[in-house]
Amino acid sequence: MPSFTVSDGTNIYYKDWGNKDAKGTVVFSHGWPLNSDNWENQMFYLANRGYRVVAHDRRGHGRSDQPWTGNNMNTYADDLLQLIEHLDLKDVMLVGHSTGGGEVARFLGRHGSSRVQKAVLVSAITPFLLKTEDNPKGTPIEVFDSFRAAIEKDRAQFFIDVASGPFFGFNRPSVKASQGQIWSWWQQGMMTGIRGAHECVEVFSKTDMREDLKRIDIPVLVLHGDDDQIVPFEGSAPEVMKLLKKGTLKVFEGASHALPNMNIDGVNHELLAFLAA
């Protein structure tokens, strides 16, 4: 399996598909507690249309190492930079889902856009997920405390509950549940080390990316479902648009947090159109 070692000795697994001679490359960052497999529909679609597509398993997740340290957004962004440098990628379009969207925002705020032309935030945790005095539309800390407690008590059952309910929107009466999607989400979640899964809850809840978004100087496409139960729409996408210099918002009506899985054709269409723009 292809992998490389970052500066602190952590081994990072990645996929590198499609046309290696393509002018641009699409680099995907996945959400919690998943891995690069969650992007397979988008990667397959774009690779079959002549693009080079790359996705890694974040440290602590999937087939990458499970280090005890470095489970924070700055290190996630640094790992992504080292992946791009390892493959010497240029003219990149970064695409991040959920926590991966936060990783993309922090990458651009921390490392700039010298190798990046465009970015896409999909159901992203941006700009700031936690409810605070200056972020009243956020989610109360008690919700995230309950996540950590559930991971400690019975992680396997908690991951079944999340996948069976709010993540895909299968708790909505109009949505038909896919047992395959539930199993896939659970499998990916259980491949993640418990330390990485537990600490990533802190990362996606408490990382404030408002200043990162202000620094981004490239076009950014924001994709979000207005029935997202994980990252509620009102506290996310509209607030992101207020901070971006060159942002475009596409709202998926009635859609859940799992846009790459539940709205495959729509997301693929938006990515391809944005690449060509």
Q: Which of 263, 176, 262, 199 is nearest to 61 (CA)?
A: 199
CB 95 within 8 A of CB 118: no
- The tally of domains found in the chain comes to 1
Q: Which of 120, 154, 105, 152 is nearest to 222 (CA)?
A: 120
Q: Is the pLDDT of residue 119 over 80?
A: yes
Rounded CA gap, 48 and 33, in Å? 27
Chain-centroid distance of CA 219 in Å reads 18
DSSP 59-77: TTSTTS---SS--SHHHHH
pLDDT digits over 177-221, tens only? 999 999 999 999 999 999 999 999 999 999 999 999 999 999 999
Rounded CA gap, 9 and 156, in Å? 29
As beta bridge partners, residue 17 has: 53
What's the confidence (pLDDT) of residue 114? 97
Q: Is the pLDDT of residue 117 over 80?
A: yes
Angle at 42 between CA 37 and CA 43, to 5 degrees: 65
Rounded CA gap, 115 and 250, in Å? 25
What's the confidence (pLDDT) of residue 24? 85
**CA atoms lying within 13 Å on the CB side of residue 266:** 17
Average of per-residue pLDDT values in the chain = 98
Rounded CA gap, 43 and 35, in Å? 13
CB 225 within 8 A of CB 259: yes
Question: Can you give the pTM of this predicted structure?
Answer: 0.98
pLDDT digits over 248-265, tens only? 999 999 999 999 999 999
pLDDT digits over 9-36, tens only? 999 999 999 999 998 899 999 999 999 9
Q: Is the pLDDT of residue 75 over 80?
A: yes
pLDDT digits over 216-260, tens only? 999 999 999 999 999 999 999 999 999 999 999 999 999 999 999
What's the confidence (pLDDT) of residue 177? 97
What's the confidence (pLDDT) of residue 155? 98
| Residue 177, domain extent | 3-276
CB 16 within 8 A of CB 92: no
Q: Which residues are tagged catalytic?
A: 98, 228, 257
What's the confidence (pLDDT) of residue 1? 75
What's the confidence (pLDDT) of residue 31? 98
Q: Is the pLDDT of residue 270 over 80?
A: yes
What's the confidence (pLDDT) of residue 241? 98
What's the confidence (pLDDT) of residue 23? 85
What's the confidence (pLDDT) of residue 138? 97
Please report, for the domain that includes residue 183, its CATH number: 3.40.50.1820
